[in-house]
Amino acid sequence: MTTSDDDTEKVHYICQTYVATKVANDDQPRLKIGKQFQYTTASQAQERAEREAVSEDCVGADAYMVSEDLVSGEVGSPSFLIRIGNVPEFDDF
C-alpha cells in the first residue's frame, strides 16, 4: 500500500484467491473468494498470487491494485497485475 505525494490517494495491492463451490440443483461449480491478502508492493501481491494458485484448494488467483481517494473514501476499479487459473470475468468482479 502506498500513499501519493499529496496524501489524498492510497494505492492498495491485493492478492485474492478463489475456490469452487457447489450450489444445490446446479451442475456448474461457482467461484467464491477464498482468501484476500494486502501488500505494500505490486511484486509482493503478484508473487503471493503465483504461490496460492498452485495450492490444492485454490482454483485461481488475482493480484491487482486499487486506488482509494482518502478524502471521499471511494475506491477505483481494479487494475490487474496477474490473473491465474479459474477467475471471474471482470464484469463479475
Question: What's the pLDDT score for residue 65?
Answer: 98
| 78-to-11, 13, 25, 62 alpha-carbon distances in Å | 10, 10, 33, 10
Give 45's DSSP letter.
Answer: H
Residue 91 lies in a domain: no
* Pairing status of strand 30-39 against strand 2-3: unpaired
Mean pLDDT of 10-38: 90
Structure confidence by residue, pLDDT tens digits, 46-70: 999 999 999 999 999 999 999 999 9
**Cβ proximity of 80 and 63 under 8 Å:** yes
Determine the structural domain holding residue 10 and report its residue range. Answer: 2-85
CB-based contacts of 41, cutoff 8 Å, min separation 6: 13
Residue 92 lies in a domain: no
Residue 70 lies in a domain: yes
Mean pLDDT of 67-88: 95
7-19 burial string, b = 16+ CB within 10 Å, else e? eeeebbbbbbbbb
Mean pLDDT of 85-92: 82
* Domains: count for the chain: 1
Question: What's the pLDDT score for residue 92?
Answer: 54
Residue 93 lies in a domain: no
Confidence of residue 28 (pLDDT cuts 50, 70, 90): confident
